[in-house]
Structure 1
Amino acid sequence: MIEIRHLKLIDAVAKVGSLKKAAEKLFLTQSALSHQLKELETHLGTQVFYRINNQLHFTPAGKEFRDAGKAILEQLGQLENRVQQINQDRLKSYIHGYSSEETQRLNDQASTISELLHRDSKWEDGALILEAGCGVGAQTQIISHKNPGSNFISVDLSEKSLAQASQVIREMNINNVEFQLADVFDLPFNDNTFDHIFVCFLLEHVSKPELALQELKRVLKAEGTITVIEGDHGSTYFYPDSKTARKAIQAQVTLQKQNGGNAYIGRQLYPMLSDAGFSNVAVSPRQVYVDDSKPEMVDRFIKNTFTAMIKGIKDEALSKRIISRDEIEGGIRDLYKTTEGGGTFCYTFFKAIGYKER
């Protein structure tokens, strides 16, 4: 069979003019390159080169192979560029983005509500756990620290986010996490690989969460568990009430929907996991309630988590004419008013756990 390595070999020889230089260009030993060349010529049933005065010259068959191979490599390069662009477009559609401000917001959110969300995020020692959509590692650092006897493989589509997550884990001296670049719709793992699966704030951003759940179930062992945590913007209540603030929140909901996501997905976790074939599904609401008696939560959740998220979508919402500038800026101001004396704020996350049957 003709393989891409054969095309690259001939292309390299055509460019540099010798087997020695081609081997260096391809980071191969000369013997390895010669072996590949012999393999190719055996398959083709003809020589690709002949030597005249210690110089390589293409045979007629070699010229044909060289020219056709060059065209194929160019097409493959164009295909790779298109696929990478599609991947980048998918990343751009992620509603929160990957800015330094968003990284800080995600880490603030994770640490602020870690006990609320993760008081029961415990697995047995020796378990292998897949964290799907780890992002910048905001949740990774919490669950891996709480489970030092377990091993985690944390995956994400973004190389940049994985680099940030890896740095955080190294700085915390956590050594039970391995990061991999992977797509939740096409995971590079065999069936029945993981004892447990953990998913947090991922399904709200994908257009077909039911397909993601099917792929996650494929790599989960029988009797293993899946844990899913999502928010639900419809659970947002605050005082003083403000129509403008609610319009600003709705702008985020609309923008997320346009990008293929669902900001109301928290309330759908039970039917979604059940429809995906998981059994014994149990969902528990995790409500955040903040008033003046919790000054740290006022700053870290209302200001630095929720309102910061609404501020983060301002430019895109304006560019897509989802909301006017006066409305979103007024809505943000009114959300900040809930942090002043007498204000209150409520939001509910949902945590679901399901099992894969035998």
Structure 2
Amino acid sequence: MDEIDTGSHEDPLRAAQRRHAQAQRLQDLFHQDLGYAPGSQVLEPGCGTGEQTRILLQRNPAARVLALDPARASLEHARDLVRAEGLDDVAFVRGDIMRLPLGEATVDHVFAAHLLEHLPDPIGALIELARSLKPDGSITMIEGDHSSCYFRPASEAARECWAAFMHARTTAGGDPRLGAHLGRLVRQAGLQPVETSPLMLYIDPRQTELMRGFVEDTIVPLVEEVREHVVSEGVIDPGVWDRGVGDLAAVADRPDGFFCYTFFRTIATKIASDA
């Protein structure tokens, strides 16, 4: 059972803090119009350190969450987080998404965010998730398309930094553009999309707290986590890298600065088999 390689060399604690800050800021965007009935079993594969687990439990207090991840340390962090907030209707399981430790048709719903883009075989993962899903259940996947990120002002160095970040994600075996293809992948896995929606995030200086938080807690750390890899591999000059990261960070302080990024959310069900 292998842990997912994201191409990241970021300090684990810092990475967890960044992901939790991002999840809190984006929860209304990601979870709009979502809700799970009391008593329903919700599988969250690739739960990581529990950033979405906590939100699922808070927004669906009567549902039961099964949070799965291959990394023991991440599961321990997630368990400590939800227990500290008195959220206890959850089970944490160490397991591989490609070989779920679950029987067929055992969960009512599946919810995952930022998972498939890191996997070498996203369709295989979706097929395995569908196997665990009850016939009347739903699967909700949320993925980003890193090529959709636009920012101003955009220096050449900042653009090179972002391109190097996407290169690192690709060489790690993932697909940084996966969000834009999410609906197609779900169909190829034998699922029936009910809804595929772009979830656009646009922030500018009028949203001071969100702008600074998004830049400082998401964009800059997300890029910096691959510095060692892209510089050592000669993907980008270290001087260009440092200027680019500085330019990205400065966007938050510019009166004409903005960031625009698009996530994609697909909600799907099983295609009924012929009896």
Fold equivalence (TM over 0.5): yes
Mapped to 1, the partners of 2:72 and 2:267 lie a distance apart of 29
Mapped to 2, the partners of 1:280 and 1:213 lie a distance apart of 12
1:138 aligns with 2:51: yes
More helix by share: 1
The corresponding residue for 1:309 is 222
Mapped to 2, the partners of 1:272 and 1:213 lie a distance apart of 8
CA deviations over 1:30-76 (Å, ceiling 9, x no partner): xxxxxxxxxxxxxxxxxxxxxxxxxxxxxxxxxxxxxxxxxxxxxxx
The corresponding residue for 2:150 is 237
Share of identical aligned residues, percent?
Answer: 33
Mapped to 1, the partners of 2:188 and 2:81 lie a distance apart of 36
Secondary structure of 1:155 counterpart = strand
The corresponding residue for 1:318 is 231
Residue 158 of structure 1, CA deviation:
0.3
1:149 aligns with 2:70: no
Aligned counterpart in structure 2 of residue 172 of structure 1, from 65, 85, 94: 85
Structure 2 unaligned residues grouped into runs of 5+: none
Q: How does 1:191-270 map to 2 (within 5 A)?
A: 191-270=104-183
Using the size of structure 1 for normalisation, the TM-score is 0.73
Q: CA RMSD in A?
A: 1.3
CA contact (8 A) 1:270 1:281 kept: no
Mapped to 2, the partners of 1:351 and 1:264 lie a distance apart of 13
- Relative to structure 1, the CA distance from residue 153 to residue 98 in structure 2 (aligned partners, 3 Å threshold; closer, same or farther) is farther
1:342 aligns with 2:256: yes
CA deviations over 1:244-273 (Å, ceiling 9, x no partner): 111111111111111100110010001000
After superposing the two structures, state which structure 1 stretch, 247-256 or 312-321, moved more. Answer: 312-321
Residue 223 of structure 1, CA deviation:
2.1
Mapped to 1, the partners of 2:270 and 2:231 lie a distance apart of 44
CA contact (8 A) 1:223 1:357 kept: no
Mapped to 1, the partners of 2:29 and 2:271 lie a distance apart of 28
Aligned counterpart in structure 2 of residue 351 of structure 1, from 247, 254, 265: 265
Q: Which has the larger radius of gyration?
A: 1
Mapped to 2, the partners of 1:235 and 1:144 lie a distance apart of 30
CA contact (8 A) 1:152 1:176 kept: yes
The corresponding residue for 1:110 is 23
Mapped to 2, the partners of 1:286 and 1:327 lie a distance apart of 31
Secondary structure of 1:108 counterpart = helix
Residue 222 of structure 1, CA deviation:
0.6
Mapped to 2, the partners of 1:209 and 1:169 lie a distance apart of 28
CA contact (8 A) 2:183 2:193 kept: no
Mapped to 2, the partners of 1:152 and 1:98 lie a distance apart of 28
Using the size of structure 2 for normalisation, the TM-score is 0.95
Mapped to 2, the partners of 1:253 and 1:281 lie a distance apart of 30
Higher RCO structure (Cα 8 Å, ≥6 apart): 2
The corresponding residue for 2:35 is 122
* Equivalent residues, number: 270
The corresponding residue for 2:75 is 162
Structure 1 unaligned residues grouped into runs of 5+: 1-82
CA deviations over 1:265-292 (Å, ceiling 9, x no partner): 0100010001111114311111111111
Secondary structure of 2:28 counterpart = helix
Mapped to 2, the partners of 1:317 and 1:113 lie a distance apart of 28
Mapped to 2, the partners of 1:166 and 1:131 lie a distance apart of 14
